[in-house]
Chain A
Amino acid sequence: MKALVVEDDREIRTLMQSSLSVEGFEVQTAVSVSEASALLQHDPPDLVILDLGLPDGDGAQLVSEIRRRSAVPIVIVSARHQEALKIAVLDAGADDYLTKPFSVGELLARIRVALRHRGTALAPALIRHTLADLHVDLELRHVERDGVALHLTPTEFNLLARLVRSAGRVVTHRQLLTDVWGPEFTEHTHYLRLYMGQLRAKIEADPAEPRHLLTETGVGYRLAVE
């Protein structure tokens, strides 16, 4: 599998290159948005790791461009205090994010989840999710916890379904609001707070320390897969 690492800092680039090679990837590197664009045209990879602090652009446009042509998994790397940019790039189509400084373990875990979702063009849509005491079946519209069926309102179910379809990956507030309520509701984050609260109350043993419905502060939500 081919991976493209776009990172201008030499130490981090080398580190990512070596960790990915050890995992069996064939790694190409680029130090700028323009170099990345060129490589993507000629030799499309199966995975893209993109740093947000590039010298000739912030990567958001690159992600939109990539998404116009392909569904290759993209994981972005950002520094703290780049929240707004990070969210913009996630909304533009990146799959997940890592915050510097990150450990190699975290990097590989995110890559695994991203690949699972977009790895091949014919990957089946996720319609079933099971973890610990929770089981969700989107086709049968059935949610149970510890064998007991849960009753969810239509909105609660749609919200959970959206998270299941991206299980393991972060879904931004904007993506959730657009997909569950509609594009006019992208500023209504309070809806999310209320409904996620209701979902947690029904699904989690301790809503204040959730096992399944994880909050990514300032970014969105993630359904745990492990």
Chain B
Amino acid sequence: MTEPRRDWAAAFALVAAASLIGRLLDSEISQTSQAMIYLAAVVLASYKLDRLPAIACALASVTAFNFFFIPPRFTLAVEHHEHLIALAVMLGVALVVNQLAAGLRNESQAARLSERRARQLQRLSKDLIEAGSEAEVRELGLREFESAFAGPCLIALRDELDAAAPRDSTRDGLRCCVSEAAVLGPGTSRWPGLDAWFVPLGDKGHVFGAACVRPALAADVDAREHAQALCSLLAHALWRLKLSADMAAARSEVERHQAQRTLLAAVSHDLRTPLAAIVGAASSLQAQRDRLAEPEQRRLLASIENEAAYLSIVTENTLQLVRLAGGSLQLRRDWESMEEIIGSVLARVRQRDPTRRIKSRVPRELPLVKVDPVLIAQLLTNLLDNALKYSEGAVDLTVQADAGELCATVKDRGAGVDGEDAQRLFEPFVRGERSSGERGAGLGLAVCRAIAIAHGGRLTVRRRSGGGSSFCLALPVEAEQPEQAKA
């Protein structure tokens, strides 16, 4: 049975019940009590039922009371004026109670709606704190809109609207809303004829997008304001995301500048020292050549050559580090053989290792790696030069391939490094505590690590049992090796 019919049926059922009860207790109670029974029925009907059935119930009660109990019985005639008053009052009461009850019902419905909306705002607010991206914010917003409003709702962010998209009325509305930074639709002073509200996310100066809300009724101010409150929360979240992105960018910019400044200071020192030695030796040769003994002349010339070579290394390392740190170095990666890279490295390093302290062990048939060979060669050369300089005795160079990685290790029997020192070694211009008066191009290991990282690998150092250090370069090996050629 549908609601209205049920209401009507209930109305008459109540009247019938009241009549029945009155009839049953006819001999025991007075007319006044019978009137009260009917009144009870009317109040019940007014509270529970809609207005029309309730009024019908009141009228029917009055009629029934008149018919069944007011003398002369079983007629609609009325004996005394008193009875007319009673009847009028009953009708009045019915109407008033009905009105009050309806009012109460509406208020309680409105209060429940308000509470639901307030809870929704609270929930959205909490969820938005966790949101990490614009897309997430949009998803959360859409979810809440769909539960709060019946019609199809849409949220669009600014960049989506800017991009070329199919032109339809909804998109046009959203674009207009963004550019006006105001609410459009029924009940507002802008475009009241639309079928939906268009609410901006944000306000003048910073509009992140807009929402389209349906259904939109001009009179439903509360619904429109709720939509605006939701949009306000979304706008705040988007604003927060934008600010934190800006802050992160600014912070890394500052860090980069700071790093460059530190580098500059350290580098200028490392450049000036060999230059001073060169200028000194050259000017000495200029001024005193005739009086200098042959061996002394040779020594000065050798010094110039060595210092200049060192200067060259420092310059290259510095440039390299700046390029790598700034991300502007383009890696020229190709399939390379570690055996070849090591071959060319050893060819150069042996010039500084006349007694052949370096012992290499490179297995056959190593997998090819996708690297920039010049950079890897530089890295290994650096490690070997360090080992030769800071240690005595044998230096081991070994290569191993396992578990998706290729590792090249340089081991020496020098002073070794301790836990914390080990990490600081890779920072520019730090040398180990116990390194002797030997000079190092302080950038060397920093460049090496930057090269390793740029290839998706790592460079680590550990102490060897028995003394000395072990530097390990690990490079990723792609599972798919390139196709083999025919013999």
How long is the Cα–Cα vector from A52 to B377 in the complex, in angstroms? Answer: 23
Contacts A155-B485, A197-B339 given; does A101 touch B312 at CB 8 Å: yes
Interface residues of B in 346-393 (CB under 8 A from A): 346-347, 350, 360, 362, 364-365, 368, 372-374, 377
Closest-CB distance, A80 to chain B (whole angstroms): 6
A83 near B485 with CB under 8 A, answer no
Stretch at the interface among A41-49, A119-127, A204-212: A204-212
Cβ A215 vs Cβ B374 within 8 A: no
Q: State the interface size on chain B (CB cutoff 8 A).
A: 34
In Å, the complex CA distance between A95 and B365 comes to 32
- B343 in complex: contacting residue of A188, A191, A214, A218, CB < 8 Å: A214
Bound Cα distance from A85 to B134, whole angstroms: 44
- B343 touching A193 by the CB < 8 A rule? no
B125 at the interface (CB under 8 A from A): no
Decide if A148 is an interface residue (CB 8 Å cutoff): no
Q: Is the CB of A196 within 8 A of B482?
A: no
Asked whether, in the complex, the Cβ of B312 is within 8 Å of the Cβ of A188, the reply is no
Report the separation of the CA atoms of residues A191 and B486 in the bound assembly, to the nearest whole angstrom: 9
CB–CB B347/A209 < 8 A: yes
CB of A189 within 8 Å of the partner chain:
yes
CB < 8 Å neighbour of A215 from B308, B312, B340, B484:
B340
Tell me if A153 counts as interface (CB < 8 A to partner B). Answer: yes
Q: Fill in one digit per residue for A163-191: 1 if any B CB lies within 8 Å of its CB, else 0.
A: 00000000000000000010000001111
Interface residue B335 (Cβ < 8 Å from any Cβ of A)? yes
Residues of A contacting B319 with CB < 8 Å? 81
B107 at the interface (CB under 8 A from A): no
A109 at interface, CB cutoff 8 A: no
The answer to whether A194 and B485 touch (CB under 8 A), given A208-B339, A215-B340, is yes
A215 touches B332 (CB 8 A): no
A217–B377 contact, CB under 8 A?
A: yes
Interface centre among B334, B343, B483 (most CB of A within 10 A): B343
**Contact residues, A200-226 vs B (CB, 8 A):** 200-201, 206-210, 214-218
B337, CB-defined interface residue at 8 Å: yes
Q: For residue B329, which residue of chain A has the nearest CB?
A: A81
Contact A209/B312 with A155-B487, A194-B484 known, Cβ cut-off 8 Å: no
Q: How far is the CA of A188 from the CA of B485 in the complex (A)?
A: 9
B485 touches A201 (CB 8 A): no
In the complex the two chains form, what is the Cα distance from A80 to B374 in whole Å?
Answer: 10
A189 touches B334 (CB 8 A): yes
| A208-B360, A216-B344 known; A193 vs B374 contact (CB < 8 Å) | no
Name A208's contact: one of B342, B373, B485 (CB within 8 Å). Answer: B342
**B341 contacts the other chain (Cβ, under 8 Å)?**
yes
Residues of A within 8 A of B136 (CB): none
Q: Which of B309, B339, B487 has the most CB of A within 10 A?
A: B339
Q: A190-B368, A193-B336, A209-B360 are in contact. Are A217 and B484 (CB under 8 A)?
A: no
How far apart are A62's CB and chain B's nearest CB, in angstroms?
A: 24
Q: Write out the residue numbers on chain B whose beta carbons fall within 8 Å of the beta carbon of A188.
A: 482, 485
Taking CB atoms, residues of chain B closer than 8 Å to A209 are: 342-343, 346-347, 350, 360
A101 and B53 CA atoms in complex are apart in Å by: 106
A207 to B332, CA, bound (A): 25
Best-buried of A80, A153, A188, A214 by chain B (most CB within 10 Å)? A80
A143 to B448, CA, bound (A): 41
Instruction: Convert B280-313 into 0s and 1s, putting 1 for each residue whose CB lies closer than 8 angstroms to a CB of A.
Output: 0000000000000000000000000000110010
Determine whether B316 belongs to the interface, using a CB cutoff of 8 Å to chain A: yes
- Give 24 pairs: A residue, B residue, CB < 8 Å, sorted on A: A84-B332, A181-B485, A189-B335, A190-B482, A193-B335, A193-B337, A194-B484, A194-B485, A196-B337, A197-B340, A200-B339, A200-B343, A207-B339, A207-B362, A208-B342, A208-B343, A208-B362, A209-B342, A209-B360, A214-B344, A214-B347, A215-B340, A215-B343, A217-B341
**6 further contact pairs, Cβ within 8 A, besides A197-B339, A214-B344, A216-B344:** A84-B332, A189-B335, A193-B335, A214-B343, A215-B343, A217-B373
A residues sitting closer than 8 Å to B (CB atoms) are: 80-81, 83-84, 101, 153-155, 181, 188-191, 193-197, 200-201, 206-210, 214-218
What are the 4 A-B residue pairs with the smallest beta carbon separation, nearest first? Answer: A208-B362, A190-B482, A190-B335, A215-B340
